[in-house]
Amino acid sequence: MNGDNCDNGEYKVDFDKPIHTPTRKLKVICIGAGASGLLIAYKLQRHFDDFELNVYEKNKDVSGTWYENRYPGCACDVPSHCYTWSFEPKTDWSSTYASAKEIHQYFAGFAKKYQLGRYIKLEHEVIGATWDEAAAQWHVKIRQGTTEILVEDSCHVLLNAGGILNAWKWPAIPGLENYKGTLVHSAAWPEDLDLTGKVVGLIGNGSSGVQILPAIQAEVKELTTFIREPTWIAPPLGEAYQVFTDADKASFAADPEKHLVLRRGIESGINSAFAMFTLADGRQKEIRTAFEDRMRQQLSDPRTAHFQNALIPTWSVGCRRLSPGIDYLKSLSAPNVSVVFGNITHVTSAGCVMSSGEEYPTDVLICATGFDTSLRPRFPVIGRAGVDLREKWKDEPRAYLGFAAAGFPNYLMTLGPNCPIGNGAVLAGIEAQVEYFVKLLSKFQKEMLTTFDVREEAVDDFVEHKDEFMKNTVWTEDCRSWYKGDNIHGKVTALWPGSSLHYIEAVREVRYEDWALTREKRNRFQFLGNGHSTAEKRTGEMAYYIRNSDDSWIDPVLKAKL
Ligand code: NAP
């Protein structure tokens, strides 16, 4: 047997090391310190002790989307008590739907509590990554702040936690560049923008647009909202809006078990929503009627009643992401709000021109028009044989279980294509991904692997299953949605073929048969070491597994039978 623990070709047991002692420091680079990047740092810190981690974050602060999105009204649209890590509750949320600022504080506080800042380099933007086959490493290029200074770094494993709704883009409307007023994108809101007394145009009625409109309506002089397509305005996704009093917060903090019951109740509601997206469920008719009645009732004002039909979709509830617009429909009937339906043909120096030829001059034009949702990396990611992932995914992003791509060894993504981003609880899905990464990286380090690369046929089988599954969902109906790369008839590339709960079960175990693994040329059992356990050697605990009940993980169905 060859290897560096050999003497004259003879294999030798390493009698200094207990089982699973790493023989090599694990070097990881993580792109982004948003929620996912912070979770990665937390979990690596928790599960590894011989590792080096550099998290490169382009922004001045952590928390990603919740740092970047500062538009008026920006808030969580699922109940805050479930917008936390499963293991890190927060009892002092100010209201049922916390503001972006408060969510930013939660994630920044999480980073501080676990001292994750030691891994994070702020204002460092990754601009390229190249796989080096000979060294079995990624070489990563990073730009410092807004300078031209480039830094290079290398790692065994590259984790892309760059976010899915992160690369905002201007709408493709001819003439936008000629606009002479103040042009704003919802995801790049200028801190000092004062809309008082201004004539404002708002393009888009997605989740951002429906939060912005009621938040600015009262302060602007006039507001014209340009709506291209109808959308389902949902009731709050969970609880009715409520500000929590100090007494509420104190009671959440005083009784963690009661708080847990509350959190589980809300999470159950969110996770139950998935069923309505499937055609087999049969509840769509009932849900549609309830949604439609609610919208018609909220649009019953004479100023808005005539466009009920233009605003209520023909496609099913959930075809595109539900927008729970608290006060949105009510705001449309405000005397200073005008709603203009149809396509904007072009933008002039003064404002938007519709296909009717009518021009709408504005002082400020707000584009709540969404993000680049091609799911391709924003920078070159050059894998095996010099293939750029952006090129490979030019026509269709084809990933494995929402986190890996064939031909890109030692590269994993959080919230990659077909992950559970709209299938139920989102943060729980990210946790499931990162738990998977931990298992894979643990084996990688302890068993001296050099590469893990998902097999192309595993990707093909997954994509085939996913595409067949999607035919039985409302997502493939004829709505335009970022779930389908902003197309009407495209493949569903953003969502997981199942519920978030389904995802948690699907990725609980690593299917090593789907991965091509290579290892250092050593005896594969070298990790068994000197016959001692790590626990006895390092903590002195000789009976840690003795306990009063069997608290090992068990399938909930089997648990219920006990
Ligand atoms: P979006 O859902 O992609 O909506 C973009 C809007 O802009 C749509 O109404 C679209 O019209 C319109 N639009 C785009 N190009 C246009 C053009 N050329 N002319 C006219 N209209 C145009 O983007 P978003 O509202 O920023 O939301 C994106 C996602 O971010 C959400 O689905 C959600 O997942 C997330 N988000 C979450 C929250 C939260 O509270 N948790 C808040 C905001 C956003 P069409 O409908 O005709 O395509």
Using one digit for the tens of pLDDT, what is the confidence trace for 425-481?
899 999 999 999 999 999 999 999 999 999 999 999 999 999 999 999 999 999 999
Cα–Cα distances (Å) from 376 to 127, 319, 389, 391, 496, in that order, read: 14, 23, 7, 9, 17
Mean pLDDT of 320-343: 93
Residues lining ligand 1, judged by CB closer than 6 Å? 75-77, 165, 171-173, 186, 203-209, 211, 226, 228-229, 321, 344, 368-370, 480, 482
> Is residue 4 predicted with pLDDT exceeding 70?
no
The beta-strand segments (E) located in 249-342 are 337-341
Mean pLDDT of 39-52: 97
Mean pLDDT of 301-314: 92
- Residue 8 confidence class, pLDDT cut points 50, 70, 90: low
Cα–Cα distances (Å) from 417 to 130, 231, 396, 407, in that order, read: 21, 24, 10, 16
How crowded is residue 499: how many other Cβ atoms within 10 Å of its Cβ? 22
> Is residue 5 predicted with pLDDT exceeding 70?
no
Ligand 1 mean position, distance from CA 15 (Å): 60
**Which tens digit of pLDDT belongs to each residue from 545-554?**
999 999 988 8
* Between residues 394 and 78, the one the model is more confident about: 394
| CA–CA dist 154, 372 (Å, integer) | 28
> Is residue 101 predicted with pLDDT exceeding 80?
yes
Atom of ligand 1 nearest to the CA of 324: 40
The pLDDT of residue 539 is 85
> For atom 48 of ligand 1, which residue has the closest CA?
480
The pLDDT of residue 317 is 94
> Is residue 140 predicted with pLDDT exceeding 50?
yes
H or E stretch including 445? helix 426-446
Question: What is the token pair recorded at 228?
Answer: 């291209």
> Is residue 347 predicted with pLDDT exceeding 80?
yes
**Helical ranges in 345-425 per DSSP H:** 389-392
Cβ-Cβ contacts under 8 Å for 294 (sequence gap 6 or more): 235
DSSP 107-165: HHHHHHHTTGGGGEETTEEEEEEEEETTTTEEEEEEEETTSS-EEEEEESEEEE---SS
> For atom 18 of ligand 1, which residue has the closest CA?
171
pLDDT more than 90, % of the chain: 86
Fold exhibited by the domain 176-234+280-315+317-367: FAD/NAD(P)-binding domain (3.50.50)
Atom of ligand 1 nearest to the CA of 320: 32
Atom of ligand 1 nearest to the CA of 168: 26
The pLDDT of residue 148 is 84
Same fold flag, 26-166+373-519 and 176-234+280-315+317-367:
yes
* Residue 406, phi then psi, degrees to nearest 5: -65, 140
> For atom 14 of ligand 1, which residue has the closest CA?
369
Ligand 1 mean position, distance from CA 369 (Å): 5
Output the average pLDDT for the chain: 94
Pocket test for ligand 1, best of 208, 226, 340, 352 (most atoms within 8 A of CB): 208
- Residue 2 confidence class, pLDDT cut points 50, 70, 90: very low
Ligand 1 mean position, distance from CA 181 (Å): 22
> For atom 37 of ligand 1, which residue has the closest CA?
207
> For atom 27 of ligand 1, which residue has the closest CA?
207
> Is residue 10 predicted with pLDDT exceeding 90?
no
26-166+373-519 in CATH: which number? 3.50.50.60
Ligand 1 mean position, distance from CA 225 (Å): 13
Cα–Cα distances (Å) from 326 to 222, 235, 323, in that order, read: 20, 7, 9
The pLDDT of residue 3 is 41
Question: What is the token pair recorded at 114?
Answer: 């676990």
Cα–Cα distances (Å) from 285 to 262, 297, 312, 481, in that order, read: 29, 18, 14, 21
Cβ-Cβ contacts under 8 Å for 414 (sequence gap 6 or more): 36, 37, 39, 40, 159, 160, 161, 403, 430, 433, 434
**Which tens digit of pLDDT belongs to each residue from 289-305?**
999 999 999 999 999 99
**Which tens digit of pLDDT belongs to each residue from 153-188?**
999 999 999 999 989 999 999 999 999 999 999 999
* Domain edges within the chain: 26-166+373-519, 176-234+280-315+317-367
